[in-house]
Structure formats: C-alpha cells, structure tokens
Structure 1
Amino acid sequence: MTTLIKSATIIDSNSPFHKQTKDLLIIDGVITEINDNINSKKDYKIVDLDNLHVSTGWFDTSVSLGEPGFEERETIDNGLHVAAKSGFTSVAINANTNPIVDNKSSVEYLINKAAAKAVSVYPIGALTQQSKGIEMAELYDMQQSGAIAFGDYKKPIENENLLKIALLYAQNFDGLVLSFPKNRKIAGEGIANEGVNATKLGLKGIPNLAEEIQVARDLFLLEYTGGKLHIPTISTAKSVALIKEAKSKGLNVTCSVAVHNLLITDEALFGFEANNNVNPPLRTKKDVDALIKGVKNGTIDIITSDHNPIDIEHKKVEFSISKSGTIGMESAFGALHTKLDLDTIVACLSDNPKRIFGIENQHIDVNKEANLTFFNPDTAYKFTTEDILSTSKNSIFIGHNLKGKAYGIYAKNQLLLNT
C-alpha cells in the first residue's frame, strides 16, 4: 500500500523536520520521502485533512479492556478500534481481567488476539498471583512471552518485603515493577479527596497522606534494592516533590498521571456524578497545579488516559456505591491541549512512555517505519456521549470543553481514520 500524506505539520522534537509542514510518502509501511510537495499517482491513498498535524504514534500506558471476563464493559476488538480512532498506536493492557493476567498463557492470549490489529498491544503482567498481593507471579516467564512490566492494577503492594524481593528479582532480566501509590489502611473506605468538599458532601475521604506515605515507602525500598520502579497515576503535590527528590538522588524511578487528575479538581464532586468517582480521587487545585508543573519540568514522565470502562450497572448508581473509574482515550488529547503545548503532550504520550517501557520509537524521517498519529490541535468542541466510541460510556469529561481531536493513525502498514 502506498499512502501520501499532504501538508502535515510534523511534531517530533527528534526529527529533522520538527515543526515543518511537509508531504510524506509511505510505501509498504516505510516513509520513503518527505518533501515540500510530492506528486500524487492514481494508485496512492491520499490523506489530505484540515490543519493536519502528525507525530510519532501515541502510547497509552494504562488501558483496561475487560476481555477476557468482562466483555460487557469492553472487548479487545472494540477497545483497539477506540484506541486507533483516539490516536493511539500502542496500548499497555492492565491485568484486571478474569482470569487475571498472571502467567505466560494469559499474556500470549492478549498478544495473539490483537496480532492483526493496527494498534499494538503490550500486556502488563500482574506482579502477584491473581493480584492478591501474597505470592509473586511468574514475572520472567511473562516477560519472555511479551509482558512489558508488572503491577497489580489499582491494588497496592502491602507487603514491603514482597515489593523488595520483586525489585531485586526483576533486575535479573531488566524488568519494570509498578507499585500503585495507596496505603489501604489510611485510605480506609474513602471514596473522595479528604477535605472541605468531601466534608460538605458527606463523603468519606481519602487523605493525600494515603498516597504519599506509600510513595515514600516505595522510594526507600528502591533506594535499598536498586532496579526500576514506575509509580502509576500519582495525584498529589507531595508525591511530585518526593519523586523529584528521588530522581535528584539518581534513583531509577518514573511516574505517570491520569489526564483527569491533571485537569479536574474535587470541585466537580458537587452534583454526585458517579463518573467523577475515580481512583486516585480528584484532588484540590493546589495538587492539580503541582501536577501540571511536574509534567512541564519533567518530574512526571507519562500522561495516561487510565482508560477503565465500567458497565452501567456499576456506574449509573449513587456516587457512594459506584465503581471507580473512567474511560479516557477518546477525550485524552482534547483535554490535554486545553492546558499543555504540543511538544509536552507528544513527549508524555509518545517519547517518554516508549522509552520507559522499552518500546522502540521510530522518529519521523526517511527510511523509518511509519508509526504515526494524525490530529488537528485547533478543533474546539464540547465533549458529549456522541464522541464516545467505547462500549461503556463512563467518561468524566462529558460536558467539558476540549481543544483538539485525533484523526486516526498509521501503523503496521494500516491506515485508520475517523473521516
């Protein structure tokens, strides 16, 4: 297949064509020419879209798809369709399925199920057997089958010695360990940020301390063991400060933030909309400001949609009994571009996550494999259910004004566009 991309502004700080508007010719999945004007031939597939921008393909490091076990929430087929139309050429799949992805067969199932898709799937294997936090799972076997990291999704590792052993063991094969930042005993039965707004609303609170004490503990363990630690979806100002200090010491620690925690505060809780029930909870403006600063100064490496489809039976209920989680791939770029510049967004959606999770990143240049995201950064709109492609509709961004939309992707010699 030969594809000609017309008048695309390239956003790739590692490309010699960064911020230049060029035509790109792709033949059988490889960029063969980049020039000011490339003449079309009748058998070319032409991509000529309004205000077209192109970057290296985006990689979402925290995606839940339900299958196997929770297909009513989302299937792999539809989930990868959503990812492609949302601009993601790669996704890391969380281990919160049924059965839990805690062995090589489960890892291979996910990879084989998605083998023919344009979007690449990278499973995150459970760190512990059945994500129960008791016995370490088969980490090496899972890595040999294609797992790129190991963590129990939204479940903290309460046994400090278990995390210590995991960090030590994973160094034998350069494995990346994930540790969700939450002290369950301090968080208790909380469902919202502990503070003035939770008190006004009569909601049980989760203090910032529940996250920060876990982050501090994990950093102490990392300093002792060495190895690689990734802390997913931090949400407080103190967490940012702790990780910044650890990085200054030379510890091999990285972290991510979810799009919604980066942009929405706990003021949104008024109205008791269950889509605002997320884990970690929405925090204060002080926290949000610190998270944005952390992204801009490089303390926070990755931004994830933390895409987590929840079926209507568990979401369209009272806030206090609803299941936490929000979908986020469809709204990720448009939400981020209301606060961040394109270079920062692409770094946190593409360059950094691929580097940290060990995924090859082909930058935009001649004779490079085409792994591309297409988008228009200037489309302004209000996000509604009509914009949702996921089976589950539990989006925290419904009703929010966004700026920017993905057109689609080119990956694995496949072109998938919204138009």
Structure 2
Amino acid sequence: MEKILFYFNRIREQLWFRPFILCLLSVGGALIAHQADRFEIAKHVPEIDAESLGSLLDTISASMLVIAIFAVASMLSAFASASTTATPRSFKIVVTDDVSQNALSIFIGAFIFSIVATIALDHGYYEKAGKFILFLLTLILFSTVILTFLKWVNRISRLGRMDHTISQIEAVVSKSLSSYIKHPHHKGQPAKGEKPGEIAVLATAVGYVQYLQMESLQTLAEENGLTIRVTCLPGKFVHKNYTVAYISPNNNVDLAPIMEKLNEAITIGNTRLFDDDPRFGLIALSEIASRALSPGVNDPGTAIQIIGSHERLFFLWNQKQSPAEGKVEFDRIEVPDIVMEDFFDDAFRPIARDGADNVEVMLRMQKAFAALATIDKPELKEWAIKNSKLAFQRAEQAITFKPDLELLERNCLFKNLGR
C-alpha cells in the first residue's frame, strides 16, 4: 500500500490525470440523469423543451473546446516561462498548480458532458424527468465553468511569474522541511554507526533515492529478525557499487531474497523529488538566486528575496515539537539525519559565491545569519556564524570599494560576536 500511494502521488502530478477523472464523471453525470425517469417525479417537474436544452449544450460544447485549448496554451507558456526565468527544477512544481489543473479538468469535463448529453438527447434517451435533471446539471456545470474561468484567469496572470514561482517552491519546501524536522529519521531510529557482523547491501539501480518505504523495511526486518541501517536518504545519488544499507542478522537466514526486497523498498529514479528531499527545494531556490545574479540577468532583488525565503524556512526549526512528533514507529530501522552544514551549503553558498561583489546582497545575507543565530538550536547558530565568516571572506576578495566593505564588516555576525 505504501508503494501504491507513492506511485499514485506521482500519477496525480501528471497533467492528464484530473481531466481524465473529470471526463469519467462527466460521462457518468450525463447518463445518470436518465435514472430520474424511473421515479415518480415527472408529475412534479416542469417540461423542458429538448430544442432549447440542445442549444444550451451546443453552446457549451463549442465554447469549452476553444477555452480548453486556450487554457493548455496559456499553461504551457507559463511552464516555459518558469523554467526559463527561474530554474528548470521549478517545472515540477508549477505544472502541479491545483487551480490550473482543476480549471483545465472542468473545461474538458464540460466539453465531454455536453457532447455525451447532446447525443443522448438527440436519440430520445431522456424523458420528462430526465430532461429536467439534465437541465439542472447543465446549469450547475455552466455556473461552475464561469466561476472556475474567473478564478483561473486570475491565477494564470501570475502563473510562471518569478514571484509566484518562488512562492510555490517555498511552500513545497516548507512542507518537506517541516516533515523532516518533525521526523528527521523518517520515524525510525537514529543511525548508531557501524556494528560488528554487519552485511552490506548494494544498490541494484543507478539514480537518485526518491523514497524510503519504512513500513516495508520494518516488516522485512521483523519477519527475518534483522536490524537495518540505511545509509542513503532521499536525494542521494547511488550506483550499483554503492552500499544503500547494512543488515545485522540475528540468525542464519537466506540473504539473497532479503537484499532483493530491501532494494525494492528503496525507490530509485532518474530525478530528485521535492516530497521527502528538503535539500532539493533549497537548491532550487538557490539556483533562482544564482541565475538572477548572473551578469546577463543582473537582478540582485530576486537574490535578496530568495535569502528571505531561506530565512523563513530555517525558522521552521524554531517551532516547538510535541513528544508525539519524535515517536519511533520503526524500531528496527536506523536512518541517518542530514547534517546542518549541508542545509547551509545548499541555501547560502551559491548566493555568497555569485553575489560576493554585491554589497546589498551580502548585507542581506549577514542579517539573515544574525537572525538565524537567535534560534534556540546550538548547531544552527554554529553554522550561521561559520557561514557569516565564509561569506565575508568571499566579499573581501570581490568588493573593491573600501567603504562598502567596511559597512559589510560592521554588520557581520561573526565580527559582532567576536568569533
């Protein structure tokens, strides 16, 4: 079930999925109106002229096809804009925009509904009650289309724009990072290091780890009396000579099928996913900042905006956790955590490198480090100070105007703390 849900989420992200579901519902709705003729409600409903109902359905079918084509063209333009102006990694997030997908689904669903209902109406499929129910469904559908179109026009005007793309990525990263902070070991045990007698399990594919099926790993460990120490997290690139896990068998068991099942429980794909990989989201945001700081774009304001996004994301560590959030559910599985250094490198190192000669960007970064140092987490404060020093060292080599460098030095976190 865990694996089915993972692949269902991947299918749900596809652009065709929701229109397909709405098409099925539309066909069902157009045909189910006929069931009203079986009940004694024909005496209590008004007579609906088949010709006027057919004209309404023809109007919907003619307009919905045009609007659906227009919607697809607008969405593709927005997707291309996001990939070009922001980062290609943003495409996966922009394409899953709920408002746009729902709008496209309703437009296509309305078109299919009108076509099926028109054919059924022309062939005398509906009687008095059926025509009335079909008329009500058509009015409801028409109202839904109008409201959806208005909402979609407002969204498509922002979809693919830089600010909106950054907000979408930040929202996805916030969800992924919050989940990691609550369960840094994926509800398993923290990795305790090497143990005598451990047996290495090599990967059977080359690619990025996308998902750890913890329930499957726990079941495998319980059935065979094992302890499993996973060595890779979502986002890690592995190859066929890479050790993805170590097992500590407590008895004589056949290791071949165990290793095969263990590899099946570690999903490996060609690309990284945002769901369980918070570092990937930070990298995507930093890529936008790096592109904005390139000489061809020269947009330091976007880089400053990204630093603000990173600051908000790091402040997720400031939230207090409840005892239930740290509860271990998979006691036979050991999972490593992500070191804080990696989070800082992903978020700030590219911006510090590419914006080293821009005093405004470097000042905003130093203010961000000072803010992060106030979080009640010693490890986070330590790396904020280290990165403050590294960022200033980069600026020292890039900024030639002495007053700018002196201004930056006065605002450096590590200088103010005497480190």
User: TM-score, with normalisation over the residues of structure 1?
Assistant: 0.23
Q: Which has the higher contact order (CA 8 A, sep 6+)?
A: 1
Q: Which has the higher strand share?
A: 1
TM-score (ref. length: structure 2):
0.23
Q: Of the two, which has the highest radius of gyration?
A: 2
Higher fraction of helix:
2
